[in-house]
Structure 1
Amino acid sequence: MLALRIVILLTIVLGGNYLLWRWTASLNWDAWWIAVPLVVAETYSFIDVCLFGLTMWRAKGRPAPPPPDPTATVDVFITTYNEPIELVMTTALAARKISFPHRTWILDDGSRPEMREAAEAADLGYITRSSAWDDRPRHAKAGNLNNALEVTTGEYILILDADQIPRPDILDRTLGYFRDDKVALVQTPQVFSNVATGDPLGSQAPLFYGPIQQGKDGWNAAFFCGSNAVLRRDALMQLGIVGYVRELDKRIARALPAAARAVTKASSHPAAKDPTVRAALDDVAAAIGDARRALDAGEPVASVTYALGRRVDAASLSLVASDVAEVERDLAEIRALALASTSDDPDADVDVERIMAALVEQDLSPLNALESVQAILQDITIDRPGEAQPIMPLATISVTEDMATCMRLHGLGWKSVYHHELLADGLAPEDLGTMLTQRLRWAQGTMQVFLRENPLVQRALTIPQRLMYFATMWSYLSGFAAVVYFAAPIVFLVLGILPVDTLSFDFFIRFIPFMVVNQLLFLVAARGTPTWRGQQYSLALFPVWIKACSTAFENVVLRIPLGFAVTPKTRPQSTGPQWHLIRVQLVVMVLLVLAIIIGCVNLFLNDAEVLGTAVNIAWAIFDLVVLSVLFSAATYRGFTPEDAPTDERTP
């Protein structure tokens, strides 16, 4: 731990020194259009390294937990939508063999009769959505889990994806942590059994499910990752109730002022001169004021909104007679004008059109205004009519429910635990297209949470917890930095434009030590865990990260639907290499190769500046090595038992 912290401090000091020099003494302002983006990208990467260093500062392994409470009750949830019945049943039957007493449930979001029959035949619980969810938001996997929480009773919930086959001792090895009454979540690694040697699709995440999660755990910020996790029901239900109350408060804050404005506008209507109408509007205005004061005093929302609704209903009834009379007057005027249109008056038709337009554009009548108030009040009814159920424990603000749920649990003061032991065997994507779909959904969900509930402004979280969540969200912005890192050597080798003002001794004496200690940091932190494949994919998938950021922004800010794609769990039919999925990266690789050729020609035939050309050729070659991982990914045909590695599945 001491050696790790020394390397972290060295990385921050050397990196800070390098960036200070870059910003103050090395920018080529004559080529600001590439110089500024490059130093911004370098600054982004330095912040990323600092966040990684903070994560690892308190990294620790946990001792074995105490034995579980033998009286604990557990529900095992297996979530499924359209996965093959055989695959789901393999997981379900393995879950039934878990040694600790429990009840296994298949949560079938596809409502398949054959799935129900298979579950019942194996004496397994089967849950699907009721008709209450028809024509209401379904919230994907979060909605499926929230629905199941309503009809089960176990104190603890083990959540498994349909392809995550649990080992018999998964509960024995994790439930003991819940002897601490503040622990809400125990997350175990997700490791895949169908990954070939070399991990061509980068499916395993040994750095995350290991050092990084252990580092976050040191700050009480270990993440919920959607599967292979045990959660405390009481914590989830508290989260659901708190979320419900907060949402209700927001709706009240919107609804009552809107209702007051509608009544004020109706008071300017000509019909409001009638004493009966005026009295009704005044009573409604007073009722809204009384409701706001009662809520501020802490009176129950249900009784306050009920009383307000009754007073609005009574006022509406008193206005019916006068409103009908006004409509009759309008109709009489229209009939008179229609008769006039048959006379010899050439302006009669024009008068009819003018008066009809005025009738359409007039302000709401008092009765219509009160109907609008009644509609507004529907927004604060306690039964939450727009949702299938009022209490939603798992967060529904993202296409991935796990991060937002965990962040909210931490905000309520609950603890999370990362247990570093392989206790379930999963199935990874078996082709590039499926992998890209999965990664895109993960990134989109993370950025949705960032845009909707930025952890940096969540006051209930500790500062380290905020930074732990922010670090993961920040990492998905790497796609924009990658574009610059690919473009910079191409610009120099083709155009001869150097973003850095000089490649003198001043540059290398700062840059090389920083890069060396930066790589040393990853080696020390990883403790022998292979990280190169992950580093390759973090850059090579830059179009995915950029698309995730842009589509999440469109969804959250512009309200454009995002959709939800379930990751296929079976091997796709062989369709040959999937080059079309990496077109952008292939174009970048072609440009890099051309740039290297041009650089070599200039170096050997045109007396180009040696040091700068050599550095940028080496940079371009490194970029090609990074992107080369996509060749094996695009041509990968799926896993066979002969491809299995011997030891890479152990966390």
Structure 2
Amino acid sequence: MSLAYRSYRHFRQQRGAAPATALWCWLLQGLCWLLLPLEGPAWRRALDTPGGAFAHLDGRRLRFGDPLRVAIQAAWLLLVRTPAERARPRAQRLKAAAGGRWRRLWQRGRQAAGAYAATLHRLPARVRGSAPWQALRRRANGLRPRSRRWLTAALALLAAGLALLCVTEPFGYLAQFVFVLLMWVIAMVVRRLPGRLSTLVLAVLSITVSCRYLWWRYTATLNWNSPLDFACGMILLAAETYSWLVLMLGYVQTIWPLQRKPASLPADLSRWPSVDVLIPTYNEDLALVRHTVYAAMGIDWPKDKLRIHILDDGRRPAFREFAQAAGVGYIARTDNRHAKAGNLNHALPQLKGELVAIFDSDHLPARSFLQVTVGWFLRDRRLALVQTPHHFFSPDPFERNLGIFRHTPNEGELFYGLVQDGNDLWDAAFFCGSCAVLRRAAIDDIGGFAVETVTEDAHTALRLHRRGWHSAYLRIPQAAGLATGSLAAHVSQRIRWARGMAQIFRIDNPLFGKGLSVFQRLCYANAMLHFLAGLPRLVFLTAPLAFLLLHVYIIYAPALAILLFVLPHMIHASLANARLQGVYRRPFWGEVYETVLAWYIARPTTLALINPKKGAFNVTAKDEVQSQDWFDWRIAKPYLLLAALNVVGLGFAAWRLAHGPADEIGTLIVSSLWVLYNLLIIGGAIAVAAEVRQLRRSPRVSARLPAALRTADGHMHACTLSDFSDDSVGLELAAALDLAPGTAVSLLLHRGTREFVFEGRVQRSLGRRLGLRLDAMDTRRQIDFVQCTFARADAWLDWHDGFRLPSLVSSLLSVFALGGRGYLRLAEHPPAVLRPPLRQLGRLLRWLASFLPRPALPLRPAMRPSAPGSTP
């Protein structure tokens, strides 16, 4: 009886249980003592050692439901492999589970897989080195040019005939399944081959399957007997045709990136051209423009051939005074006609340089910018433009609000990492408004920068190409700036881009007119069609509701046929794009980006096609500060409406599954899966609308720079500069240093062979990590600090090292997880009227979640007193 009382007292005093809870746990413990051998050594180790399988229940007040939580956790650990167990090498798990026979089978399988992969990697070299291949090459090289052209034409006609047969031949269900399976097997084999040939094959497979899908849609899936079915079906088919066209043009645009390298400059500096650096500004803060000017002043170029100008459309005296103090040019005008393009055109007559380099007011050029870009102008006298990437050292709203900065490629990485490089192959790389060098003679030849649209950059490049000038793209980040400060600012910027591209498509359509090659026309057309994605994306997000709510057959075909045609089209397109886009865009993330913008760009692009003169230039806000987390209900309204409609559609689907005709079950299931997919994509858009706190106006930039720290006693300590901002730095010391906050220190940085000293004070100290706040710097010190950090030649070259190429499945699951996260964020930021019930619902969900099993943590040995004389 005394043992039972001690157990009850333990529950009451040590675990803080209420009397009823202590009695309940005491009774269950007694039952366990009767049924289980708890006195055994294995049970004692599990019960007496803290942590491990039940770590989430240790150290907190005992609750009435804890026995049930313990039972659920124990059952889960017995039946399910834990993440720690899954993390073990598979061979070890098989050894523990099945012994030597399974281990040998597993090893043989791994050896076979390794041999298969090695064979595929050696296959291209073996084929090229084989005697038949060499003989075939000798025969091909021995052909006359005319015979070679005829042979190429014959092979092209044969390939086109086979492709037409694959696309148009009608198959039954079994034949279609065999065809799809064969194409999938080929894709699975080819995708492991290295080189561009396998990429081409994957693109050809995707084109074949997608064209067959579109042919089937046009010839076998429209209900001509029902006007409503036909009308809704044609709307969806028009959206699919648009997506198919963009897919095909995307393959043309990105199939063979040029990967241009910098051209060397002559050793004779007198042959280097003169350059005017232009920094247009309208309403940006002087602090922002100041750093761009300081970075430009550090560009490695002969000083007598480099002139820097601030183009101030705001006509602010402070900017004029700053330009005079810094020794740079200042140009202002009396009006703001044609916005940025007008500002640039006003400055051109006052410039004398052979080349013009343009930087937005927040883009800081690296010191090597001109040495990397200008060499191509000397090599090609008809070269009008060299464009470099727009790189951002601050997170955009997607990266900041989703916490994926420097882990997942941002929205612009695909364009600047792959699309522009692919355009360069076809001499179609275009001007992006900043981080570019242009030949002054070429700009004069077309009458200045284009002013008819709000995207003067792309329109200017189009005019240059029409006049026979060439362009180049260097995929080397040579400048960096600030990304948009909020989702609202991001959407506003994209609306301007979309409106401008639609205006160009309407008034200066690249598909028509003189001066462009076929591939230049296709590249420009795809760039403009990309911004017309708003309406098609909205159609895809609402299409299944036509059947669920209105009983309209938008695809007039059995569910099995839909799966046999739709899934291969989606899978092959995803495989080919994953191979083409690599680390520049994760599969399926593009749909989230499009969904965020779809509602907002649909109307302005449609209106611009009707009346291209509508629309004004707007300046994008960059350095916004947000004091707390909040949800942008204004920008999220369209996403919430789309989510509500799809939820209603799911409700109708559930009712019709229970009470509808049996022959529609397959179609209902397919439509419901489509709705669920749309809900998760919309959830991703909702997640981006939950703005996270941003207290810093100047973001911290990660870096790995050698530095030194000098303390007041004169000692020098080697360290690494791990991050920096305008007025503070983070350091990693080689050894821990005990410095109190406020201690005065000196930071030593190098730029080339020169050493610079910056005074500061310790802001925080944590072991080997220090945070310094730099003292107020004069103009000379500010220039030195900017050029030692932001404007280094190698500042942004390793920025993509954190990107990894994920599998299709893992990327799809990450998008699904993002969708669920969006709805959770929505629950965290409800309107005031909904907060009390949602708070209660949240408590209920957290209580239910407390019963979920958890992964077992590593065991923590119980602390025992050391034996006399032993070493602790």
Q: Is TM more than 0.5 here?
A: yes
5 Å matches for 1:580-591? 580-591=634-645
5 Å matches for 1:210-359? 210-240=417-447
Query: Which residue identity lines up with residue 111 of structure 1 in the other structure?
Result: R
1:534 maps to which of 558, 570, 590: 590
1:433, distance to aligned residue in structure 2 (A): 1.4
Cα 1:481–1:422 change in 2 (3 A) is same
5 Å matches for 1:222-621? 222-240=429-447, 393-531=448-586, 532-553=588-609, 555-556=611-612, 559=613, 561-572=614-625, 576-604=630-658, 606=660, 609-621=664-676
CA distance in 2, matches of 1:580, 1:649: 34
Query: Which residue identity lines up with residue 21 of structure 1 in the other structure?
Result: W
- Is the 2:396–2:486 contact (alpha carbons within 8 Å) kept by the matching residues of 1? no
**Larger proportion of strand:** 2
Query: Which residue identity lines up with residue 204 of structure 2 in the other structure?
Result: L
5 Å matches for 1:165-180? 165-179=364-378, 180=380
**Residue aligned with 1:459, SS:** coil
Query: Which residue identity lines up with residue 500 of structure 2 in the other structure?
Result: G
Query: Which residue identity lines up with residue 210 of structure 1 in the other structure?
Result: G
Does residue 1:122 correspond to 2:326, yes or no? yes
Does residue 1:92 correspond to 2:145, yes or no? no
Query: Which residue identity lines up with residue 625 of structure 1 in the other structure?
Result: L
2:414 alignment partner in structure 1: 207
1:109 alignment partner in structure 2: 313
1:23, distance to aligned residue in structure 2 (A): 0.8
Q: Deviations over 1:25-58 (max 9, x none)?
A: 1113321121111111111111110110110233
1:643, distance to aligned residue in structure 2 (A): 8.7
- Is the 2:559–2:670 contact (alpha carbons within 8 Å) kept by the matching residues of 1? no
CA distance in 2, matches of 1:498, 1:160: 52
CA distance in 2, matches of 1:514, 1:440: 30
CA distance in 1, matches of 2:545, 2:473: 43
2:36 alignment partner in structure 1: none
1:572, distance to aligned residue in structure 2 (A): 4.8
2:341 maps to which of 136, 139, 142: 142
Does residue 1:194 correspond to 2:394, yes or no? yes
2:711 alignment partner in structure 1: none
1:87, distance to aligned residue in structure 2 (A): 0.4
2:354 alignment partner in structure 1: 155
Q: CA RMSD in A?
A: 2.3
Does residue 1:18 correspond to 2:18, yes or no? no
**Residue aligned with 2:212, SS:** helix
CA distance in 2, matches of 1:555, 1:422: 37
CA distance in 1, matches of 2:254, 2:585: 16
**Residue aligned with 1:34, SS:** helix
- Is the 2:495–2:600 contact (alpha carbons within 8 Å) kept by the matching residues of 1? yes
- Is the 1:77–1:159 contact (alpha carbons within 8 Å) kept by the matching residues of 2? yes
**Residue aligned with 1:511, SS:** helix
Stretch moving more, 628-637 or 441-450: 628-637
2:170 alignment partner in structure 1: none
**Residue aligned with 2:399, SS:** coil
CA distance in 2, matches of 1:634, 1:534: 17
1:552, distance to aligned residue in structure 2 (A): 1.8
**Residue aligned with 2:511, SS:** helix
Cα 1:451–1:486 change in 2 (3 A) is same
Stretch moving more, 156-165 or 29-38: 29-38
Cα 1:498–1:440 change in 2 (3 A) is same
1:8, distance to aligned residue in structure 2 (A): 2.0
Does residue 1:183 correspond to 2:389, yes or no? no
1:605, distance to aligned residue in structure 2 (A): 5.7
Does residue 1:66 correspond to 2:264, yes or no? yes
**Residue aligned with 1:39, SS:** helix
1:430, distance to aligned residue in structure 2 (A): 1.4
CA distance in 1, matches of 2:666, 2:235: 22
- Is the 1:74–1:103 contact (alpha carbons within 8 Å) kept by the matching residues of 2? yes
Report the TM-score when normalising by structure 1.
0.72
Cα 1:513–1:643 change in 2 (3 A) is farther
- Is the 2:354–2:439 contact (alpha carbons within 8 Å) kept by the matching residues of 1? yes
1:19, distance to aligned residue in structure 2 (A): 1.0
**Residue aligned with 2:330, SS:** strand
Cα 1:450–1:574 change in 2 (3 A) is farther
CA distance in 1, matches of 2:347, 2:395: 32
1:256 alignment partner in structure 2: none
Q: Deviations over 1:416-447 (max 9, x none)?
A: 11100111111011112111111111111111
Stretch moving more, 543-552 or 181-190: 543-552
**Larger proportion of helix:** 1
CA distance in 2, matches of 1:85, 1:544: 31
Q: Deviations over 1:72-128 (max 9, x none)?
A: 111111110010011001111111111123111111111111111011111111111
Cα 1:645–1:591 change in 2 (3 A) is farther
Query: Which residue identity lines up with residue 82 of structure 1 in the other structure?
Result: N
1:568, distance to aligned residue in structure 2 (A): 1.6
Q: Deviations over 1:375-410 (max 9, x none)?
A: xxxxxxxxxxxxxxxxxx101111121011001111
Stretch moving more, 602-611 or 217-226: 602-611
Query: Which residue identity lines up with residue 56 of structure 1 in the other structure?
Result: T
Unaligned runs of 5+ in 1: 241-392
CA distance in 2, matches of 1:53, 1:467: 11
Query: Which residue identity lines up with residue 543 of structure 1 in the other structure?
Result: W
CA distance in 2, matches of 1:92, 1:447: 34
CA distance in 2, matches of 1:64, 1:613: 57
Cα 1:572–1:565 change in 2 (3 A) is farther
1:548, distance to aligned residue in structure 2 (A): 2.2
Query: Which residue identity lines up with residue 456 of structure 1 in the other structure?
Result: L
Cα 1:115–1:637 change in 2 (3 A) is farther
1:512, distance to aligned residue in structure 2 (A): 2.0
Q: Deviations over 1:446-469 (max 9, x none)?
A: 111111101111221111101111
- Is the 1:200–1:632 contact (alpha carbons within 8 Å) kept by the matching residues of 2? no
Stretch moving more, 580-589 or 152-161: 580-589
Cα 1:564–1:64 change in 2 (3 A) is closer
- Is the 1:493–1:598 contact (alpha carbons within 8 Å) kept by the matching residues of 2? yes
1:595, distance to aligned residue in structure 2 (A): 1.1
CA distance in 2, matches of 1:644, 1:619: 41
**Residue aligned with 1:603, SS:** helix
The higher-RCO structure (CA 8 Å, 6+ apart) is 1
Query: Percent of aligned positions with the same letter in both sequences?
Result: 36
2:768 alignment partner in structure 1: none
CA distance in 2, matches of 1:483, 1:18: 21
**Residue aligned with 2:265, SS:** coil
CA distance in 2, matches of 1:231, 1:25: 52
- Is the 2:397–2:484 contact (alpha carbons within 8 Å) kept by the matching residues of 1? no
1:642, distance to aligned residue in structure 2 (A): 8.7
**Residue aligned with 2:603, SS:** helix
- Is the 1:540–1:626 contact (alpha carbons within 8 Å) kept by the matching residues of 2? no
Query: Which residue identity lines up with residue 299 of structure 2 in the other structure?
Result: I
1:362 alignment partner in structure 2: none
Unaligned runs of 5+ in 2: 1-195, 402-408, 704-797, 804-872
**Residue aligned with 1:502, SS:** coil
Query: Which residue identity lines up with residue 589 of structure 1 in the other structure?
Result: A
CA distance in 1, matches of 2:280, 2:604: 25
